[in-house]
Structure 1
Amino acid sequence: MAVSEPSRTVPFHGLRVIDASRVLAGPSCAQLLADMGADIIKIESPEGDENRRWPPLMENGLSSNYAAVNRGKRAMTLNMKAPRAREILEKLVASADVFLHSFLPDTAERLGLGYERMRAMNPRLIFCSISGYGAEGPLRNKPGYDLMVQAFAGPMSVTGYDDGPPVRTGVSFVDMATGLSAYGAIVTALYARQQTGQGTWVRTSLLETAVSMLSYHAIAWLQAGIVPRKQGSGGANQAPYQAFRCQDGHVLVGAPNDAAWQRLCTALNDPALAADPRFATNASRLQHREVLVGLLEAHLVRHPGEHWSALLEQHGVAVAPIQSLDRVLTGAQVLANRMVVMAADADDREWPLLGTPFKVGDSGTAAGSSPALGAHTDEILRELGYSDHDLLDLRREKAV
């Protein structure tokens, strides 16, 4: 399998990030910072991040969920219920540029992880908090998971088919998009710190991310009172623009404007369809969508999807096969854009992981794979000035 070359550009070399977040959103944000060269210290409870144990488990014993968002980090355990754990945390915060957590607001305050306390320790600190439902409002302390927020924030209401049950999007897009949002907020705050010399509090949530991604659906309701319906495999505002049955399954075909519609008719060698007044404009095609779908499928079922992909591409018509992940992750286009990379573990075994969704110069991904629980605890404590005798005491006190 072709993979990316090791990166050379490290925009965040020398930046220290304390990652006290869990599951997907916060860890994915910290992983992006690691990919750009930051030193990420992942703090976990002695039991570990809960997603270490979520199936499926890989050959190296790590959950795919955990491995997906924790490469390139150094891991230490810290028992925040132990008195000396706060002493260690204070030393970490004093040395850090960014502190990232995903505790509920009141839980963070109870653990001594509130913004005001952190700012007093380190005025230059960028403090990033990620929550389920936002830092303000009556639900600020409500736990949030991707699935629940897909329902609560609206995306599930436009997913699936009108006559079907609620459908979850197959990927955890709210979690992962929240990680990207937090990354952007942190980078913005770091840039602002260059101007002011001061840190700040940046915050995001699964709810805010999901609502922002409603995009044109939300604007249609806010400005015209239009409540969108479930859209199946396509979009409600263009036709044809959806999955169609072909000889060996389905293929996505899109002609979202009138010029593309004419090219599609040419590709199908159907001048009568091109001249039919019911399909002359996008508005009229939407009005007669059911008839249109039947006529197009009568053409498409005659050949397999691969035939239509090649033919429609030749005519400049948007087309895409519905690919399984084995095809996606071995495909030339994905590999060419360095979206499959290799990372070595502590035993120098290499494991394939996903690349970053953006590139900065010739940057790539962090060199190491996801760490074992507490793998760097002693190393980090020694950097903070603790002696071997101190380490024994901290373990006896169950602080680490």
Structure 2
Amino acid sequence: MTEPTGPLAGIRILDLTSVLFGPYAAQILGDWGADVIKIETLDGDMWRYSGAFRNRGMSGQFMAVNRNKRSLALDLKHPDGKAALQRLIPTADVLVTNVRPAAMARLGFGYDECRALNPRLIYAAATGFGQEGPWAKRPAFDEIIQAASGLASSVGSDDEPQFVPSLIGDKICGQALAGAVSAALFSRERTGKGQLVEVPMLETIAGFNSVEMLGGYAFDPPIGPPGYKRMKERKPVRTKDGWITMLPYSGDNWSAFFEAVGRPELIEELQVRDPVARAENIDRIYARMNEIAQGRTTAEWQEMLLRLDVPHTAFARISEITEQEHLKAVDYFAAIDHPSEGKIRQARPATKFSEAPPNLHRVPPRLGEHSREVLAEAGYSGSEIDALMAARAAGEG
């Protein structure tokens, strides 16, 4: 453990979240220096048991979104466990939850109850659907949101939708929630007031997807079909010995590309200098590029495209991503010694702050590892903590 150094150092966050959306947001805030207390059931976050692990309850997927946190195991249905959280809320700046709002209210920890305990509290609710809509009480998971937001339709088609093979909705919304909490904290600095912050997954991903995918439907009435044609045409390009992605973007890029490959006649034939005509001809342009690409090796293409300043890259295998040239040079993936899990690999915080650089100050916690420590900070004596443990109102690792 080291001292947190990020811009949120000194901020305390109660993290009542599980799986991915909420924990990822809380981890970002922890990366930025906040003291994040992860409050788990006595069985722990179910994400602890998903994926590969050396020791039960410490899966790689769990550890990827739960570093820079302390773990406090509480049974919030037990009156003494509930009382412990009530004692912690006045000490916190932020409470983050992805428990459905109705369930939080039944537990006695809805926004109004928490605000009564701490008027300056930022209460951040990670929800599946906006709480003013008819789907407010529905459960939501990543694939549900990909389907309902139009994302699956835009990745595949209306006739054959496809999911992005990544929990992209959870992760995008996690980043949105971290930003929203930061903005609310800034607002509190100016006004002195806490507030309720809600980040609903469906609305967030629908807005994210609409940026380019509404297409002609961005106008009322529509002036063209939905979708972004270029994204359907942009695919991995086969070379003589592998794959590359080439992305000549401007008229100058395309002209330089066709000149360099000895096909200058295509500049006029495909009208690549005119952005409107280029967009209309994009399927023909990419077809030509795909044909031409097969005449050189991936290395030969990279040398040429780098010289021409045309955006490009070879494809990285996920199994080799830690050895990717740029990421390795910036030491992005950290090898960390975990006291129970041995050597683990973590992606460092990507955001840079020149005056308050984030750091990895805590390894991912074992379930209830910090229960005694956090309860003592809340004013419980040793004998009182023993009693909580004996009553199964709290647990320890």
> 1:354, CA displacement in angstroms?
0.8
Whole-angstrom distance in 2 between the partners of 1:59 and 1:324: 27
TM-score when normalising by structure 1: 0.89
Relative to structure 1, the CA distance from residue 277 to residue 145 in structure 2 (aligned partners, 3 Å threshold; closer, same or farther) is closer
Partner residue in 2 for 1:318: 311
> 1:162, CA displacement in angstroms?
7.9
Partner residue in 2 for 1:70: 66
Whole-angstrom distance in 2 between the partners of 1:153 and 1:249: 35
Partner residue in 2 for 1:382: 376
Deviations 1:213-270 (A, max 9, x none): 1213237423252442486xx525xx7x543222233321222332211011022121
Which SS does the other structure have where 2:177 is aligned?
helix
Partner residue in 2 for 1:367: 361
Q: How many corresponding residue pairs?
A: 389
> 1:61, CA displacement in angstroms?
6.0
* One-letter identity of the residue aligned with 1:320: T
Partner residue in 1 for 2:195: 200
> 1:122, CA displacement in angstroms?
0.5
Whole-angstrom distance in 1 between the partners of 2:127 and 2:63: 22
Partner residue in 2 for 1:132: 128
Whole-angstrom distance in 2 between the partners of 1:173 and 1:63: 19
Whole-angstrom distance in 2 between the partners of 1:267 and 1:336: 30
Structure 1 alignment gaps of length 5 or more: 1-5
Which SS does the other structure have where 1:352 is aligned?
strand
Whole-angstrom distance in 1 between the partners of 2:3 and 2:42: 33
Partner residue in 2 for 1:3: none
> 1:368, CA displacement in angstroms?
1.9
Whole-angstrom distance in 2 between the partners of 1:229 and 1:83: 53
- Name which of 198, 210, 213 aligns with 2:208: 213
Which SS does the other structure have where 1:252 is aligned?
strand
> 1:68, CA displacement in angstroms?
0.9
- Name which of 254, 265, 277 aligns with 2:258: 265
> 1:274, CA displacement in angstroms?
2.5
Partner residue in 2 for 1:98: 94
* 337-346 or 320-329, which deviates more: 337-346
* One-letter identity of the residue aligned with 2:332: M
Partner residue in 1 for 2:29: 33
* One-letter identity of the residue aligned with 1:378: R
* 253-262 or 291-300, which deviates more: 291-300
> 1:282, CA displacement in angstroms?
4.3
Relative to structure 1, the CA distance from residue 389 to residue 280 in structure 2 (aligned partners, 3 Å threshold; closer, same or farther) is closer
The answer to whether the 8 Å contact 1:160/1:230 transfers is no
> 1:300, CA displacement in angstroms?
1.1
> 1:25, CA displacement in angstroms?
1.2
The answer to whether the 8 Å contact 1:161/1:230 transfers is no
The answer to whether the 8 Å contact 1:343/1:353 transfers is yes
- Name which of 160, 167, 188 aligns with 2:183: 188
Partner residue in 2 for 1:167: 162
- Name which of 105, 110, 116 aligns with 1:114: 110
Deviations 1:244-303 (A, max 9, x none): 222233321222332211011022121222232565644444444454444322321122
Percent identity between the aligned chains?
A: 28
> 1:96, CA displacement in angstroms?
0.6
> 1:56, CA displacement in angstroms?
2.4
The answer to whether the 8 Å contact 2:154/2:213 transfers is no
* One-letter identity of the residue aligned with 1:314: R
> 1:325, CA displacement in angstroms?
1.8
Relative to structure 1, the CA distance from residue 178 to residue 337 in structure 2 (aligned partners, 3 Å threshold; closer, same or farther) is farther
Deviations 1:175-195 (A, max 9, x none): 111111111111111111111
The answer to whether the 8 Å contact 1:256/1:282 transfers is no
> 1:338, CA displacement in angstroms?
4.6
* One-letter identity of the residue aligned with 1:193: R
Relative to structure 1, the CA distance from residue 313 to residue 133 in structure 2 (aligned partners, 3 Å threshold; closer, same or farther) is same
* One-letter identity of the residue aligned with 1:209: T
> Are 1:228 and 2:222 counterparts?
no
Relative to structure 1, the CA distance from residue 340 to residue 131 in structure 2 (aligned partners, 3 Å threshold; closer, same or farther) is same
Whole-angstrom distance in 2 between the partners of 1:265 and 1:252: 16
The answer to whether the 8 Å contact 1:162/1:229 transfers is no
The answer to whether the 8 Å contact 1:77/1:374 transfers is yes
Whole-angstrom distance in 1 between the partners of 2:342 and 2:54: 13
Partner residue in 1 for 2:245: 252
Which SS does the other structure have where 1:320 is aligned?
strand
Whole-angstrom distance in 1 between the partners of 2:340 and 2:60: 18
Whole-angstrom distance in 1 between the partners of 2:43 and 2:26: 20
Relative to structure 1, the CA distance from residue 138 to residue 41 in structure 2 (aligned partners, 3 Å threshold; closer, same or farther) is same
* One-letter identity of the residue aligned with 2:246: V
Whole-angstrom distance in 2 between the partners of 1:228 and 1:29: 31
The answer to whether the 8 Å contact 1:42/1:76 transfers is yes
Which SS does the other structure have where 2:219 is aligned?
helix
Whole-angstrom distance in 1 between the partners of 2:336 and 2:225: 46
Whole-angstrom distance in 2 between the partners of 1:218 and 1:303: 37
The answer to whether the 8 Å contact 2:213/2:227 transfers is no
* 43-52 or 335-344, which deviates more: 335-344
Relative to structure 1, the CA distance from residue 75 to residue 149 in structure 2 (aligned partners, 3 Å threshold; closer, same or farther) is same
